[in-house]
Amino acid sequence: MKLTDTVIAIDISSSGVRARAHRRDLTVIAEHAVDLHTTVAADGASFHELPAIVEAVRSVVRLLADDPELNIVALVGSGTASSLVVAVLGSGEPRPVTEALLWSDSRSAPWFAAVSTELASAYERTLCPPDVSYWPSKLAMLRDRGALGSARVGSAKDFVFAWLTGELWTEPMSAASSGVFDSASWSWDRPLLELLGVEGALLPEVHAATESAPLCASAARELGLDLGIPVVLGGMDGPLTQLGAAGAASGVASCTIGTSIAFREASVRRSVDPDRRTWCYPVSPELWVIGGAGSNGGNILTWLRDRLGLAADVTTLADLAFGAPPDPELVFVPYLNGERAPLWRSDLRAALIGLGAHHGAADVARAAFEGLAASVFELAKAVEATAGVPNRVVFTGGFLRESRWVQLMTDALGVATAVPIPDAATSTGAAMIGWAGVEGVPVGEVFTPSLSAVAEPRPAEHLRLRETAERTAAYRRALWP
């Protein structure tokens, strides 16, 4: 039997770990996934445990290694933005000193207040808006708690790479999403590290995303893989999604609506937003991704379902919402979880304005969907101010199953929308980098995703939703100056 050559893309997300086997044409022919328990608490804690992440990776990769039809030629990683772990390296698994903090861990808010001015000044070097979601305030907190010492600092993906290869390396996407990487000089930001009292030697070495190290003997035995197969560094989920949705093409944006929302565009150059609303992360010195990720999306709909009991499930909630006509006087200000891009305001909250006795559950549900559309509009405009107006937007995320929601978001953006083929954009982006590393070719030459049109914007609806976004912003400014 002829085996199929595959690259295994290992995606460590905020909800779980998934391994997908991609053929050379990037088609997924096998996959396995394990959920991760996220610990959240009233003090702002939001984290995974590093041993649970390593065990999840071990589990899903081992299942693919046991597949008799696969010839695994490389592994490649994908991680989440701003993940932060302190751990001690040795033989075998890294020994964690801290939990694997997620971007949403806000326990370092008091430390952020002390360094926010310096972070704003550093924006032109880091291209990360000053926010508690990035590393600086978390490093200051861990320093004061005595958690650093001589232990190493990196993302969860970085330490998985160290377990697999013995090398603590990272790539420019993950490095840039830390908030302490000077992407202008392509090095860790010395002034910020000095301010935070962190030795640069504790951080990972930064290598090209396509660079690899050989799978070490202990990990090979645990995974049932051949000793020395390449483990390619890969990247971080936001830029990888853009890559897997549109390749290296310019003029095509990607928009993900899942638990939260994100909007991105590729650029051939490093670009600074003078208003510090968006980030700019490098895939390579020749390819950058400009974008932003919010804090609210499908999580608002699950809140309406679980806390207010408006519907039994999200599908029923959509039926309820789209069965009601939009009411311009009823506005849902959608910052239930504060907001990251483009506002960077953790103090924001949600509000329902204009509620009358004649309104019911359907009206509230419709207002919530339209509030999310207003957020997508505002985020897209912030990205476009730096990256330019795209001629098409590629959608990714679970919301694609609901065609009425897709049309609403297309109307909000005012641009024709499509979906990528294959549709596993983050994993596809990682596999593109994996195959580029194996073959020694530029990422843009590996593969360009095909696009399948899904919707065209309706001009009258776009105008109406733009007015809704303006009204939402006016209420925000009035309630939270």
Which tokens in the block code for residue 114?
């002390």
- Distance in angstroms (rounded) separating the CA atoms of residues 219 and 228: 10
Q: What is the DSSP letter of 93?
A: S
Query: Got the DSSP string for 98-125?
Result: S-EE-TT--TTHHHHHHHHHHHHHTHHH
Average pLDDT (149-172) is 97
Average pLDDT (11-23) is 96
pLDDT at 231: 98
CA 311 to chain centre: 28
Check if the beta carbon of residue 204 is closer than 8 Å to that of residue 154: yes
Asked if the bond preceding 342 is cis, omega within 30° of 0, the reply is yes
Residue 80 is inside which H or E element, if any?
A: none
The pLDDT tens digits for 392-450 are 999 998 888 899 999 999 999 999 999 998 888 999 999 999 999 999 999 988 988 89
Which tokens in the block code for residue 387?
């990256």
- Whose structure tokens read 């008091």? 110
List of long-range contacts for 184-188, beta carbons under 8 Å, 24+ apart:
184/124, 184/125, 184/270, 185/125, 186/285
- At 223 the three-state DSSP class reads helix
- Distance in angstroms (rounded) separating the CA atoms of residues 475 and 458: 26
Q: Helix 135-144 to helix 109-121 angle, to the nearest 10 degrees?
A: 130
How many other C-beta atoms can be found within 10 angstroms of the C-beta atom of residue 149? 11
Confidence grade of residue 375 (pLDDT, cut at 50, 70, 90): very high
The pLDDT tens digits for 96-129 are 999 999 999 999 999 999 999 999 999 999 999 9
Measured in residues, the chain has a length of 481
- For residue 1, pLDDT over 70 is answered with no
Cα distance from N-terminal residue to C-terminal residue, the chain? 67
pLDDT at 2: 60
**What CA–CA distances, in Å, run from 117 to 111, 127, 133, 200?**
12, 15, 15, 22
The pLDDT tens digits for 271-321 are 999 999 999 999 999 999 999 999 999 999 999 999 999 998 889 999 999
Average pLDDT (198-215) is 97
Check if the beta carbon of residue 279 is closer than 8 Å to that of residue 129: yes
Q: What is the DSSP letter of 347?
A: T
Q: What is the DSSP letter of 339?
A: B
pLDDT at 304: 94
Q: What is the DSSP letter of 181?
A: E
28: left (phi over 0), alpha (psi -120 to 50) or beta: beta
Check if the beta carbon of residue 84 is closer than 8 Å to that of residue 138: yes
Q: What is the DSSP letter of 278?
A: S
- For residue 172, pLDDT over 90 is answered with yes
Sheet holding 230-236, edge to edge: 28-35, 16-22, 4-12, 70-79, 230-236, 212-214
**What CA–CA distances, in Å, run from 215 to 154, 171, 328?**
19, 17, 58
The torsion angle over the Cα atoms of residues 151, 39, 235 and 69, rounded to 10 degrees, is 110
Radius of gyration of the chain (CA): 22
Domains of the chain as residue ranges with CATH: 4-238 (3.30.420.40)
- At 346 the three-state DSSP class reads coil
The pLDDT tens digits for 430-443 are 999 999 999 999 99
Q: Is 328 exposed, middle or buried (0-12, 13-18, 19+ CB in 10 A)?
A: exposed
* Cα dihedral 118, 275, 339, 105 sign: negative
